[in-house]
Amino acid sequence: MKIIVPPIKCQGIKTKIVPLIKQVVQLNGNGRWIEPFMGSGVVGFNIMPRNAVFADTNPHLINFYNAILNGEINSFRIRKFLENEGRNLSECGKDYYYEVRERFNKNNSPFDFLFLNRSCFNGLIRFNQKGGFNVPFGHKPERFSKAYITKIANQADYISLISKDMKWSFVCQDFHRTLSSLSENDFVYCDPPYLGRHADYYNSWDENRENELLSVLTRLPCKFVLSTWHSNRYRKNPFIERLWSKFNILTKEHFYHVGAKEDNRNSMLEALVMNFEPEKPDDKPPLKPEQMTLFAA
């Protein structure tokens, strides 16, 4: 299955579990796709709903995708910008990275946001308490090769292409507002920050916020799927049992990388929490039992 990869990278991006999510999503033709924690947008972009609301509290993500919608950002302008900035980075190294970071924190250019996202350490999106981007340099002055720039430009171009025939909106707001006034025909996909695993002041998250989200999702008139982590080799997510066990839960194992060493390749069990029974249509590949477990309340 071909996966649409978005131009903005995010920690915890759901690329590897998009096929599983696509198998369980049950869209109603008259409803909307509602995503209150957009992040990279990789899930919604691959679902390709006709009508969608992509929301996040990070204004820079929203500004970037609105710039694609209104034509400010296109593949030609991305290519030209990254070729120029890439040369500067190659010649000046980390000093130029920090110059762009300072410039972005003053002007909030979506082009600078893309540059920083693709040249910072591990593709992190992290901000300090004043809202300033504070991820350090990724130690790759030659980052923007011709092939790499082409890949990024093509990724942005594809989002622009598929969105032209859709009714998509990108809004900067809290999940409470995004999840208000929904109908039974809507479908909600939630990918909140994982408790204890992210440090992002635009999406700060704690147990109280997780409980608030549980309360809101429990009262929804429509179906929802929530992504979270179930367990890894070191520990289990205590909130699966404490908060989400009354819903249906699918799990899928995959590997993730933190850093460059092979020793940092670890198995992670991801969980999909949903308020409905997942279907297994005949025209879709069966969910393999060795890859997925169904826990029912």
Model confidence at 171: pLDDT above 90: yes
Model confidence band, residue 291 (pLDDT cutoffs 50, 70, 90): very low
15-57+173-295 and 75-160 in the same fold:
no
CATH architecture of 15-57+173-295: 3-Layer(aba) Sandwich (3.40)
Is the pLDDT score of 157 beyond 70? yes
Is the Cβ–Cβ distance between 270 and 194 less than 8 Å? no
Distances (CA, A) of 245 to 239, 271, 272: 9, 11, 11
The pLDDT confidence band at residue 50, using thresholds 50, 70 and 90, is very high
Tokens (6 digits) for 85: 């900035």
pLDDT score recorded for residue 185: 96
User: Tens digits of per-residue pLDDT, 11-40?
Assistant: 778 888 999 999 999 998 889 999 999 999
Residue 194's pLDDT band (cuts 50, 70, 90): confident
pLDDT in tens, 67-99: 999 999 999 999 999 999 999 999 999 999 999
Handedness of CA 124, 76, 14, 60 (dihedral sign): positive
Q: Which residue has the tokens 């011709």?
A: 146
The per-residue pLDDT for range 261-275, each reduced to its tens digit, is 444 456 778 999 999
pLDDT on residue 268: 77
Are 251 and 230 in contact by the 8 Å Cβ rule? The answer is yes
**Over 50: is that where the pLDDT of 248 sits?**
yes
For residues 142 and 85, what is the distance between their CA atoms, to the nearest angstrom?
11
The amino acid occupying position 51 is: N
- C-alpha distance across the termini of the chain, in Å: 31
Strand partners, 271: 228, 251
Tell me which of 52-56, 196-200, 289-293 is least confident: 289-293
CA neighbor of 110 nearest in space, from 78, 175, 63, 59: 63
pLDDT of 263 reads: 46
The structural domains of the chain, with segments of one domain joined by +, span 15-57+173-295, 75-160
Using CA atoms, how far apart are residues 135 and 155, in angstroms rounded to an integer? 23
Report the alpha-carbon distance of residue 85 to residue 259 in Å, rounded: 25
Which of the listed ranges 157-161, 238-242, 260-264 does the model predict with the highest average pLDDT? 157-161
Q: What is the DSSP letter of 211?
A: H
Label the pairing between strands 223-232 and 265-274.
Answer: antiparallel
- CA-CA distance, 295 to 207, in Å (whole number)? 23
Q: Is pLDDT above 90 for 234?
A: no
Residue of 156, 150, 151, 229 whose CA lies nearest to 195: 229
Distance CA 270, CA 274 (A): 13
> Is the domain defined by 75-160 classed in CATH 2.40.110.10?
no
pLDDT at 201: 52
Query: Is the model more confident about 223 or about 254?
Result: 223
Question: What average pLDDT does range 267-284 have in this prediction?
Answer: 78
pTM, two decimal places = 0.87
Contact status, residue 18 vs residue 133, Cβ threshold 8 Å: no
Q: Do residues 133 and 119 make contact, with C-beta atoms less than 8 angstroms apart?
A: no
Name the residue with tokens 């991801």. Answer: 270
Average pLDDT of every residue of the chain: 88
The per-residue pLDDT for 266 is 62
CB atoms under 10 Å from CB of 19, counted, come to 15
Cα gap 81→206, rounded to integer Å: 38
What pLDDT, on the 0 to 100 scale, is given for residue 28? 87
Q: What percent of the chain has pLDDT over 90?
A: 70
